Copies of this chain bind each other. A is one copy, B any other.
Amino acid sequence: MKRYERVAQTLAQRIEQGLYRTGDRLPSIRALCHEQGVSVSTAQAAYRRLEETGQAEARPRSGYYALTRTTPGVLPRVTRPAQRPLDVSQWDQVLELVRGAPAEDRMLMLGRGIPDLEAATLRPLQRLLATLYRGVDARGLNYDNLAGSRELQRQIARLMAASSCLLHPDDILITTGCQEALSLSLRTLTSPGDVVAVDSPSFYGTMQILKAQGLKALEIPTDPRTGISLEALELALEQWPIRAIQLTPTCNNPLGYTMPESRKRDLVALAQRFDVAIIEDDIYGDLAFTSPRPRTIKSFDGDGRVLLCSAFSKTLVPGLRVGWVAPGRYRDQVLHMKYVSTGASATLPQRAVAEFVAQGYYERHLREMIRQYRCHRDVMIAWVERHFPPGTGISDPQGGFLLWLELPGAVDCVRLNERLAVEHLHIAPGSLFSASGKYRHCLRLNYASPLTARVEAGVRRVGEMVSELLS
């Protein structure tokens, strides 16, 4: 055993014995050298080793912090939404959340669905964009192919093979973010008045599409570990004329679960039996903490009824608006919808993302982000366990960077948010994620970016305020 390995082992044992809990500061490099009688480079190597094993986390300009796999003591309960089609409301609250570019300097936005945009592994993307624009020719300024840049279609097909999805580049249409992919899919499949079954809680952006299109949401009970209840969905399919099933089965937003593969397969069978289409939102799928990443529902799709929607907004950056849809048998109709909605997508961002993937930067970036988000999940769960009232239900994310809390009592998180605003804090209230404003006692937190002392103080303060409101 090398010297640095021995030092790492000593520290690991202390963490396992509970001498250091998740989020506790470990000895500084200097202190470790002194204590263990080793050189600076050995101490550094020991910490790098602990980072690799997921037992320590480096925080820039602060030092190393202990990390243990914290599983939540209490999970959120299986949801029990109203079992009938409802009109979607909540636009005012969604607008509140999405209206402005987040001004992190003034507000601590603990609730938005934004990845870490300061990651060093994103730099090559920036460089590619700058280089492409500097050397752009008339073609790069012109309308692109309507279906998308050939090279990007090809790279996405290659990436999706990792989820056991065998797509031809022509099966993929590039869109303006995942939002457009979802919107085109729903508009292709439905007419005003139709009913769409959704997991619940569900991403508010999709719910607002239902509202805009005059569709009704049928929210299906959802288990925070395994996702949408197939039993409840089957009953609903028997009872209501459902036109489409929309869900986020992998690294769910907001609940963080990944539906087990057997249930994904069963869902496809169910959809076949009732001859209904499935809109699968996979936007967080590449951020799963397991390798290889989980299979998509689409990968079980034998007859083209699954419309797979995704984007690089969570895995890379949202501001380029590069998304895509694999619409199966609905390709021609979705392409028409795309043409009338926005025409061809912006040209060079597609090329830049394609290059970023082709040159291996994407996989490197994912690896780094998955490591970071996995650490952060454990730290954030530990903080919530520490700072929130006992009995708080905490999700156990299998990927992505979002945590869902169910408060142990009738705290109204919209009101909570108003009180937090005074202190420049912000969470995403759970009611956004329901057609009719359920889950008011739930909230969503984001743990993507470095978990600084300021973030911990914020989480602590939210927890305190929840306790005050409960008492």
Contact = CB atoms under 8 A, between A and B. Distances in A.
B346 A320 contact: yes
A341 B339 contact: no
Q: How many copies does the complex hold?
A: 2
Contact of A343 (B98, B192, B213): B98
Interface stretch (A73-81, A129-137, A250-258, A395-403): A129-137
A136 B126 CA distance: 7
Given A126-B136, A145-B101, A318-B142, A205 B114 contact: no
Contact of A183 (B127, B130, B211, B341): B341
Interface residues of A, number: 65
Interface stretch (A7-15, A173-181, A260-268): A173-181
A140 interface: yes
A130 B132 CA distance: 8
Interface of A is mostly: helix
Given A133-B133, A192-B191, A345-B321, A139 B340 contact: no
Nearest to A119: B138
A426 B17 CA distance: 76
Interface string A274-285: 000000000000
Contacts of A114: 142-143
Contact of A336 (B143, B212, B214, B337): B212
Interface in A97-122: 98-102, 104, 114, 117-118, 122
A98 B129 contact: no
A319 interface: yes
A95 interface: yes
Contacts of A192: 191-192
Contacts of A117: 138, 141-142
A209 interface: yes
A155 interface: no
A109 to B, nearest CB: 11
A160 interface: no
B98 A143 contact: yes
A347 interface: yes
A94 B177 CA distance: 24
A349 interface: yes
A282 B138 CA distance: 24
Interface in A314-328: 317-321
B102 A342 contact: no
A139 to B, nearest CB: 6
Contacts of A133: 126, 129-130, 133
Contacts of A91: 336
A146 interface: yes
A301 B467 CA distance: 54
A346 to B, nearest CB: 5
B344 A341 contact: no
A42 interface: no
A144 interface: yes
Given A180-B341, A342-B180, A349-B346, A134 B130 contact: yes
A340 B122 contact: no
- Greatest chain B CB density within 10 A among A114, A212, A214, A336 is at A212
A348 interface: yes
Interface in A156-204: 176-177, 179-180, 183, 187, 191-192
A208 interface: yes
Contacts of A139: 101
A4 to B, nearest CB: 34
- Residue from A94, A136, A192 having most chain B Cβ neighbours under 10 A: A136
Contact of A319 (B102, B140, B342): B140
A320 B380 CA distance: 39
Contact of A100 (B94, B131, B141, B145): B145
A142 B346 contact: no
A207 to B, nearest CB: 9
A98 B176 contact: no
Interface of A: 91, 94-95, 98-102, 104, 114, 117-118, 122, 126-127, 129-131, 133-134, 136, 138-147, 176-177, 179-180, 183, 187, 191-192, 205, 208-209, 211-214, 317-321, 335-337, 339-349
For the complex of A and B, the 7 pairs showing the least CB-CB separation, nearest first, are A117-B138, A319-B347, A130-B134, A129-B133, A141-B317, A176-B342, A130-B133
